[in-house]
Each structure stands twice: as structure tokens, then as C-alpha cells.
Structure 1
């Protein structure tokens, strides 16, 4: 049944982007956030992958030279050190992020590769292709062959996701296929339209499915029933991705006309339609309250939510307090790498509440982003000044972004006085060092008398610098502030006259704030972002708790590969030593679960799988999950009698799937998809009736659900005597055993 409607209108991203990223020479076909939320990667028709800092708008790195056609999808490893890409050249590459070098090349698909997904522990990679197959690759070994091929689709597979113990694919034949690895069973929901995008809800109970008939459907995973349909956008020619926001309160989607659409989740009512791009808006992705969109002309835009009311701020503050309390139970140090309340109209009471919490709790905030706050007046800056007076030297911030606010000479003077009275800055570069880092400060577009600023510069408190020259370290007795200016020995970028009322304040300009320590280069160990604190109505508060010292737990919660416990009754034939694999750290995540809506009057579901003791354990069973080789993965085969579909070609033409007609970003022309209808005498699968809502428009309602064992393709290998092929249930790999010498090896012998 459909969930109950939320009481409040969802807090949507702002109507204007906060950053616009350019650099791709053609359309962006996929984008992905890093696990810590500090960076995004984009895959393009221009045959490259690029790395960006969405907060500063800075382009970090370009990965190119391997794909010779467009890059269709990317997936980033949980530890941010590697990523995989796939393209229309039929190739899959595993990249090292730091060196921008390819580590591994995977070949085996006969047509272009459309989508990628990691298994739950990233020890397997799944790829979906135009050749109608899904291939599964073991990422722990150097084997070039896939360990499994699923061939149930009748036409090109456009999208693919994994969730716990399930693989879900969407194809041009309209089949939404669910592979249950525990049961060894495949269930098909036939939507009768090409499926271009699949997303799973935060609670894992629903799927958001985009089809190329300009409809998006919310489906119940358990029985395939349709809960809601969202329409109004244009999606008939190309693959356009849709997404649920992290709190499962609204739906977002691009459109072929460049508009960005939002719908309320439950009632499917349109919330807003924004002309966001000049070309087709092809992909989008959320991280907490930040949304990134990308279009067919290569332009990428960043959007952020706003704190629209007092309740949203109170929720943010309560959530921050809860996280701090939880963290202090195990670690006395709490560091917020990035506290971002920019472009929000906080009241003076709210500024006081926030800084009182930070000051009394003993929290270090490395970077404050408060630019564009029309309510950050002299009185609010005095609150911040008192906060600075109460800090110890070890808790001094590194950066403060206060541009485009309502500060005058009075508040600026009080702020400078607080800096003069304390020894927070310069922060020593090392213990007992004679040089240090001044406070990185931005204050342009305020209402400060420039003569007052020049006075502090002449007194040696402030040192102006430009982006070209860069901020400098100083003597420990030197300037306390590095103030960013546009041109040295010129003005300080202040407005004249008194600040206007908040409702009459000019819109803030985009701020291209380059983080001097982190934006210049990619770092897999960069400060992490809490990943589970979603959907609290934070507005623009993208705070980033991090820890000094070792690697934080949440950054590594899903990272790496760990050996699985061997099941009982293992083959007596000795196995080789464990396959070579990267070093990894498995840490159980203790983050609180996100608040999500609950479907009304649903039966209780079994426990979901969870991370326990560094391995993937099923919550409802003591045995290892199907990812580890028990159950349906026995001997690399699904078993069963194959799929229910006949081998006849589907109603979709294999060579008519969406492609660009040229290498340019706006060349998205294609014939409209025909509507598939069952033909007389066509083979009809045996089906279980689902609870799909009846409708005269069959293109908007799933048909009966098909349950079948999946079809697996795996060639039997014959080897000459004395070699034998055996299978490791522990590692889900075949290995070779010499019955005469007793030798066991993973790789196929070069000479028999």
C-alpha cells in the first residue's frame, strides 16, 4: 500500500545552481559521488572521465586515453582509491585515482557496455551490456574471464543496480529483472517500455524506475505493485536518470528539454519544474542535501537545499547534537571539516544556538561556509567573535567564508579585536615551528568601510593575497589573517551604503573558494562525510565530521575485500594460497539509520543483511550470503532449466537502441521507441499474478510478474590428464589441481 503523506512540503534544492562546472567537450552520460561526498566523477561522450570538487567548482583531474568511444558509466570504490568505467568500445577499465593509470582491463562483452555495479563488498563487479547479458567479474584475481554470465534479457540491458543480496536490471524489452541470490530465483516485472534508470529507496523496499515513455514508476519490490507514477517531463529518445532524494520524500528527474523536475513522493504531485540546462538533462545524483545534474552539452551544475524554516534548522541542530554525543562516547576529539550554512537566512538566535553548541562541546570546525547569508549582520559577527575568544589554540578554524553578507565596519572591528586578543593565529605548521598559517578569510561584497580594512592591513593584522599568488605561511609573529582580494594594492571588494533588509538583499554571487589544502589534489584519505545522516531537513548544512589521526570508520565501512569463511564440507582437494588482493580494512558502521517513510499496513519483512565482523552476514541466517558462494552460486552456475523467455528476438530492434549520431554533446537524435504489444501466437511465460494496480493504460502499469530460475551461461572446461578443474566455494573461483603431483594453482597452466 502507498505510504502516508508527509505533513510538510519537501525541502527542495534551491532554484538557482551554486556552481556550474565546465570542461567536458561533449555530453555527460553518468556521474557519481565519492563516498565522502567531497568529489564527483563524470563520464562523457568525449571518451573521458573527470574528477571535480563540487563545492569549489574546481576541476581536479582528467582520465583519458583508454576508451576510444563514449564512456557510459562509472562506479567509485568505497575507499575512493579506484574506480571502474565502461564504454561503447565494449571495454571495462579499473583505474587508480591517484596515478590516473589503468590497473586492469576487462573484455568479454560483444556490444557496448551500458552500466556497472559493485557487489556489496566490491569483490565482484557486474556489467550490463547491449549484448543482452550481465557479466560478473571477480575483482580479487587477475582472471580475464567473467565468473558468471546472466542472459535472461531479450534485448539491450540499459541499467543495473545491486542491493544487499539482489541484482536488479532494466532492459529495452521492458523487463525489470530481480535476481535473488539467496533463493537462486529470478523475478521479472514486465513494464512494456524500455527501462532507462533504476533507483532503490533508502529503506530498500521500493524501486524508482524510469521508462522511455516519459513516465517514472514507484514499485513495491516485494510484489511489483505500482505505488505511484510521475509524469510531465520528456523522456522518449535517450536514457534519462531519475532519483529519490536521500530522505525518500520527493522524486527528481531530468528531461530531454533540459528541465529539472520534482514530484512529491506519495501523491506524485509536481512540486517544481526548472529550466536548468540548455541541452537534455541526462543524469543527476544526490549526496545528502546537495544535488548534481549533468547535461548533453557537457555542463554540470550543483544545487543545494535551503533552511526554509525554523523547524529545519532545529532538526539540523538536533541531529548534529546527537552525532556529537554518539561520537564522544568512543573518541574525545570531534572535528567538522566543513560546516556549511551558506545562503541561508538564519536568525540571530539561530547563530547563537549554533555557536553556543560548537563552543561548549569542544568541537573543531576546520572550515566555516557562511557566505551569502543576508542575516549575518554585525550582531551575528559579534557572536562569532565571542566564539573565537573561547577557543583553544588546537581548535582554531582554518577558513572562514563570510562574503556576500551584511557586515559593516562595526562588526568587522569587533571580529578583528577578537583575533588580536587571542593567539589562535597563525597556527604553527608543526610543533615548535617558527612559521604558521593565518586564517583564510573571505569578506568581499559586504558593507565595510575600506579605510577600516586598510588600517588593519597597515597594522599587520591582515595580509591580502590573490588566488594567483596563493596564500602564504608567515612568521609565527606575523599577520593573523590571509584576506582574499581580486587584485593586490587595490580595493577590497566592498559595497557602499548600509546593508539592505534581508528580503531586499541582492542574490549572492557564485563563490569559487579553492581549498588550499584539499582541492588542489585528490586524496583517498580526505576528510570524510557522514553518510547516514540524511533526510533531516538540514538545508545547506553540509557539515563533514572527520577525525584527526587514523582513517575514520565510516569512510571505510564498505571498503575493501575480506576473505569469506569456508562453508562446511569443503572439497578435500587442496586449494592454492588465497588469491592476491588489495589490503583492506573492514569496519562496522555505527551510523544511525536515516529517517524514511513507512508504507502503511505492510507485513513485517525479514531482517536485512548487515555488516558484521568484517564480512557480509545474512541477518536471517547463520550461513554466509549468496555473494560468498553458498546456495545459488554453487559451482558458478545458477542451476535450473533456463529462462522462461523463448530465444526469439524481442519486439525491440537490437540495433535501434539509443546512441548519439555523432560525437557532439547535443546530437541526441533517434527514432521514437515503438510500443511493445504481445503478438498473436507469441510465447507467453508462466506467471504469478502480482498486485499491480489495474489501469486501461498498460504502458503505465506493470504486467504479471514472472518468477523463474535465471539463465546462466558458463562454458564447461575440459582439461587433459592429469589436471582437474575444481571449484572453491570460499573464493567462488575455479582452480586447477594436478592429480599426479598434487599441485594446485589458480591460473590455467600455460603447458599441460
Structure 2
């Protein structure tokens, strides 16, 4: 071919330069059409090796071949399938915002590919949603060279002054921390003595006239709520009484203890009328279903047992925990049973099927206390140094109650959104349920003559009005707390400093 071109040039044929340009054009077209674009072969993943002479004469040839491979290999994945694209949030507001700011609208996919090939990077956008990240912000009056886009060729003085002209600032779209409601402080109202052991269980009468207490002296005592006078002492357990519950629909009281016994007491005759046999070890907690005639107990054998109140039959054995079931609560809607265990988990149970609906594994230490809100569909769990709030029915985490660094033995909440937590070292904390703010923290006063190690809060409950808090303690006393009726927001202002908000869900 070269000989023919040479002979043609000498014989007065076409110009040699014209033929050479035609050859280069044909070679470029052949390379682009018949390039190896198969993804299965190794050559298909490599960059097309061009003739050095062709590349030097035509710099766009390399980009043409790369564009060909880009479309051949990635054309089927440039757009998402409709099933996936329909689930993604619409980008309408973001496009409007870009147009309002005078920015270019998103270009065609081929145009984006061309820019990618030519080395023009696509503009990256931050993921949507509030962020607590620190970002660089330029102080007013800072020169253009102070920004992160300053060119390498800027003066040395501008580069030296850059740290002084830039400052760290938090993004303006962070969530504002919710302001807590004001609650009056709580003060000690009455101290009741009478037990000879740690007061481990408390329950209030549905008519709010009396309350019952169970202790390590194996007795159950009934106290008048208004005066604090002792009404009656019941004996029958042969070990520490750990759980008490009074039925709102029947004249029955239920008790359980470390002697593996679960008893049903008739409050009209003050005698035991039923026993529920089945637990293999000590029974640490019990609860009554609010609408069904069902009793649920849990204990050291790691299971929660569901009993028919009347027939004494064991309906379900809720197995799944690997440690002691230390506390449980019942509610009307699913999950109707919630259990906390020393295996550091909280389980939500399907009462009809007798199976686990969900397991909450956020706690690092054993969960010793649970409480449900009387009006909201939420509950709280407490372990060593950690109190967490959850939302039913799925058990979604809402927030932490931070600040009570002790072994949390008991939790109680009233309808005024006051959460109480009692620690094993005698520390007491009062929280605002909605915001998680601790508005009062104090230590209990041990009974004179008792050891300092006996200043622990073992059990607690609010009365039906929510205005009195009953605490059973390790110094063998029962202490009743009430709100300070003379307190006002002016005399006891809310000590709250807003912080950068945490997402509640």
C-alpha cells in the first residue's frame, strides 16, 4: 500500500497528505467500531492500547474508545430499575433548590458520561437529613484564598493566614433539643418502719386506699395509704417476697417469692386460695394482664410463665432468655408481655403464640427494671448506669436517660411524665419523660442505726393519683415522697442547658 501511494505521488496522483489523513480516519473508525468491549475477557477490562502514531495525531481517539467501552459495559446499569427507583425519595425539592440558586439542571446521562470521560467530576451532594458534623465556615472579611478551593499558586501569606480565617461551625440544620416541662421537686413525706428485712415488693390498691409491701422477713404487710398505719400482716411464704400485684377486677392479691411459690390471696378472708406450681427456682417478678384473667411470672429459671388465674393451668412457657428474668410488665396491646433479664436483653412477646416478637440488645449489663407509661404506648428499661426509652409495638429506641451512674433496681413513671429511678447505692433521680432531662437528683437517708451499705432503693411505685411515690429500701423502711406544693417555676427554676439534639428515633 505504501509502495502504491509512493508510486501514485510520483506519477502525479492524489496528494500524499490527503491519503494519509484518510488512512488515519479509517483506522480511527475501525478501532472504535471493532474495539474489544466484552466484559468477560481480561482485555475488556483494560484500557484500549492505541497505535502511538494514531494517538499522537488524534488526541480524541483515546477518549472515543473509552466512551465506547463505557456505554457498552455500563449502559444497562446507568439507571435504576423502576421497582427500586419508586422506593427512593423524590428529588424534586433538591432540583428546585438548585434552579433557584442559579445552578445548572442535571444533564443527560450521555452528557454526564462525556464530562466523566473528559475529566470533569460530577458535583457531589451531601446525603440528606440533619447532621451534627462540624464544617468549615469562612469568617466575614476572609479573602478568596482562605477557602478550601484556593489554588496552589496563591501567596504564602494567604496560606499562613488560612487557619485564622477559617473556623469550625456546626451545621445550621441540626435538630433543636426539646425543652423539658417544669416539674416541682419531690420531698420526703413519711418514713414507715415495721419490716425486718429489705422491702423488695410494693403494690397499690386499685381504689388508692391502701398499699402492700413484701420484704425479706417473709411477710406481706398491708398499710393505710393516707395515714401510713399498719392494717394487717400476712404470713405464708418461707423465703423473701419478691413480687406483689393486686387485681383491679377481683378481690385477689398475688405474691411470689424466692421459695418458688406463687400464691393467690383472697383479700376478703385474708387467706391463700390458690397456688401456681411450675417454676424450678425462685420467682422474682409477676404482673397481671390489664384485661385478661392471666397472670405472668418470671424468675431465676430464665423463663416467664403465663398462668390461667382461675384454673391454675400453665398456658405458656416463654423461653428464650439465658439469664434470670428480673422484671416484666403487661399491657393491653402487642407486645402484651415485655420481660427484662440479667442476660442484658429485653424481649417482646406475642401472648397468643407464646413466641418472641423482638429482642432488644442495646443494654450492656443486666436489665433489672422495666416500667410502662400509663397513657403513652412507650416503656423504659434500666440496667447498670443506663436507662433507655422505647416505643411500642416494634420496640424502637427513642432516647437515653443519661446521668444515673448506679445499679438501677427500680423504675416508675406517672401520668405527669415524671420518671423515677432508684439505685442500689441509695441514689434517686427524677426525670422528664419526654425530653430525658433529669430535674432532680438526691440520695436517700438511711434509717438511724442501719449500715451505710443498706441505703439502697429496692422497689418503688406511684399511687393511682401520681402525686405520691412509695419506695421500699434496704434499711427495712418504706419512704413516701410527694411533690413540693409550695414550689413554683420562680422559686425552683428549670436548670436546663440546651445541647445539640439527639435523634429520638
TM-score band, normalised by the shorter chain? 0.5 to 0.7
Higher strand share: 2
Which residues in structure 2 correspond to 1:620-631 (within 5 Å)? none
Q: Distance in 2 between matches of 1:171 and 1:3?
A: 35
* 1:161 corresponds to: 329
Determine whether 1:301 maps to 2:479: yes
Normalising by structure 2, we get a TM-score of: 0.56
For the pair 1:10 / 2:183, whether they are aligned, the reply is yes
Q: Pairwise mapping of residues 16-165 of structure 1 onto structure 2 (< 5 A)?
A: 17-64=188-235, 66-79=236-249, 81-141=251-311, 143=312, 145-165=313-333
Task: Determine if contact 1:28/1:42 at 8 Å carries over to the other structure.
Answer: yes
**Number of residue pairs matched?**
307
Contact 2:347/2:356, CA 8 A, preserved across alignment: no
Shift of 1:274: 2.3
1:217 Cα shift? 1.0
| Contact residue 375 and residue 415 of structure 2 kept, 8 A | no
Q: Matches of 2:214 and 2:469 in 1, distance apart?
A: 17
1:59/1:266 Cα in 2 relative to 1: closer, same or farther (>3 Å)?
A: same
Aligned match for 1:171, one of 324, 341, 344: 341
Name the CA distance, whole Å, in 1 between partners of 2:486 and 2:181: 11
Shift of the alpha carbon at 1:178?
0.7
2:377: which partner in 1?
A: 205
Deviation readout 1:402-433 (Å, 9 max, x if unpaired): xxxxxxxxxxxxxxxxxxxxxxxxxxxxxxxx
Equivalent residue runs for 1:700-711 within 5 Å: none
Q: CA-atom RMSD, angstroms? A: 2.8
Matches within 5 A, 1:359-398: none
In the TM superposition, structure 1's runs of 4+ consecutive aligned residues that sit over 6 Å from their partners are 1-4, 309-312
Is the aligned partner of 1:258 residue 2:426? Answer: yes
1:30 partner SS = strand
Higher Cα Rg, which structure: 2
Asked whether the 8 Å contact 1:170–1:177 carries over to 2, the reply is yes
Whole-angstrom CA distance in 1 between matches of 2:488 and 2:364: 46
Once the two structures are TM-superposed, the CA of residue 252 in structure 1 deviates from its matched residue by: 1.1
Select the structure with the greater relative contact order (CA < 8 A; seq sep ≥ 6).
1
Distance 1:299 1:3 in 2: 43
Q: CA deviation at 1:106?
A: 1.3
Query: TM-score, normalization: structure 1?
Result: 0.38
Contact 1:173 1:192 in 2 (8 A): no
Distance 1:263 1:3 in 2: 19
Q: How is 1:239-638 mapped onto 2 (pairs within 5 angstroms)? A: 240-248=409-417, 250-278=418-446, 279-287=455-463, 288-308=466-486
Deviation at 1:108, TM superposition (A): 0.9
In 1, are the aligned partners of 2:184 and 2:487 still within 8 Å (CA)? Answer: no
For 2:504 and 2:284, locate their aligned partners in 1 and report how far apart those are by CA, in whole Å: 29
8 A Cα contact 1:112 1:129, kept in partner: yes
Distance in 1 (CA, whole Å) between partners of 2:279 and 2:176 is 41
Q: Name the residue aligned to 1:427.
A: none
**Higher helix fraction (1 or 2):** 2
Q: What SS does structure 2 have at the residue aligned with 1:67?
A: coil
Structure 1 distance, partners of 2:212, 2:472, is: 11
Contact 1:29 1:45 in 2 (8 A): yes
Query: Residues 3 and 163 (structure 1 numbering): CA distance in 2 closer, same or farther, change over 3 Å?
Result: farther
Alpha-carbon offset, residue 61 of structure 1? 0.6
What is the rounded CA distance, in whole Å, between the counterparts of 1:68 and 1:74 in structure 2?
15
Structure 1, residues 328-349: CA drift from partner, whole Å, max 9, x if none? xxxxxxxxxxxxxxxxx9xxxx
The answer to whether the 8 Å contact 2:321/2:341 transfers is yes
Closer, same or farther: CA 3–125 of 1 in aligned 2, 3 Å: farther
Q: 1:58 to 1:153 in 2, by over 3 A?
A: same
**1:3: Cα distance to partner?**
11
The residue matched to 1:147 in structure 2 has which SS? strand
- Contact 1:77–1:122 under 8 Å retained in 2: no
Contact between 1:12 and 1:306, CA under 8 Å: does it hold in 2?
yes
Q: 1:229 aligns with which of 396, 400, 416?
A: 400
Q: Tell me the secondary structure at the aligned position of residue 89 of structure 1.
A: coil
Contact kept in structure 1, 2:179 and 2:435, CA below 8 Å: no
Q: Aligned pair in 2 of structure 1 residues 37, 3: CA closer, same or farther (>3 Å)?
A: farther
- Assess, with a 3 A threshold, how the Cα gap between structure 1 residues 309 and 132 changes in structure 2: closer, same or farther: closer
Q: What stretches of structure 2 of length at least 5 have no aligned partner?
A: 1-129, 131-174, 447-454, 492-502
CA distance in 1, matches of 2:416, 2:199: 26
Listed as ranges, the gaps of 5+ residues in structure 1 are 313-344, 346-690, 694-752
* Preserved contact between residue 161 and residue 198 of structure 1 (Cα < 8 Å): yes
